Chains A and B, each alone.
Chain A
Amino acid sequence: MSTAETDFLGRYRQLMNELLIVREAEGGDLPIEVESAYVERLDALWWQLSVEQQAAYEAELASAPAPASDEELHLFDCEVNEGDRVLPRKAA
């Protein structure tokens, strides 16, 4: 697989993430013109992927493993005030 092909898949993945995150951040719905612009760009990228890349992406979606993470972060927040130069959280 060439770098260019890999890059198309990366860009597709990135754009799909962006759509999902921005849509969620807007409460679940985007204005139709914004949603359409994303779909148009996704569609254009999709057809630049090879058949193998399309299959790989669909398999990735079907399995969709959540990223591994610790059960707890063991972090607590702190009270901070305007002008303070201290972090607002610390390790337990």
Chain B
Amino acid sequence: MYLTSHHVASPITGHEGVNSFLYSHGAHTWQTPPTDIPDKNPGALMAQSISVRPPGNRVRSYLDIVAPDEIRWDEVRVGLMTFVGESQRTALPWIGQCGRCHFRLGMDHGLAQHWQKEVAVLYRASQALRLANAG
């Protein structure tokens, strides 16, 4: 599974919102996240939640989550919080692995001033899309 949420801004209207995308890797599972996911192998797009219609929106922040399709959300949450705790005193973007999950988090300077709120926004959008398409 590759689950990503983008905080985007339309270059035309200036409207901002969060778009989320859920990709599936089917039965492909792992204990250590494969290095080719997502950049070389994003999987097949299974669902998306669109607030500001692509293409061409500026991405102001993103949260990437790579995990086995069958993973329970609790495992993702614990991994993400560990990843954030270990990364928070370093420069963005943050990239790291916790257990069976791989995470990437980036945001522009303006959003980084309130980074915990931004993580919450991206986390909530990701969780909503995943839970709406679980099982």
Contacts and interface: CB of A to CB of B under 8 A. Distances in A.
Nearest to A89: B59
Contacts of A81: 45
A85 B92 contact: no
B26 interface: no
For this complex, into which size category does the number of interface residues on chain A fall? 35 or more
Interface in B100-120: 106-109, 111-117, 119-120
Interface of chain B: mostly helix, strand, loop or mixed = mixed
Query: Is chain A's interface secondary structure helix, strand, loop, or mixed overall?
Result: loop
B92 A79 contact: no
A24 interface: yes
B59 A67 contact: no
Most buried by B among A22, A73, A88: A88
Interface of A: 10, 13-15, 17-18, 20-26, 66-73, 75-89
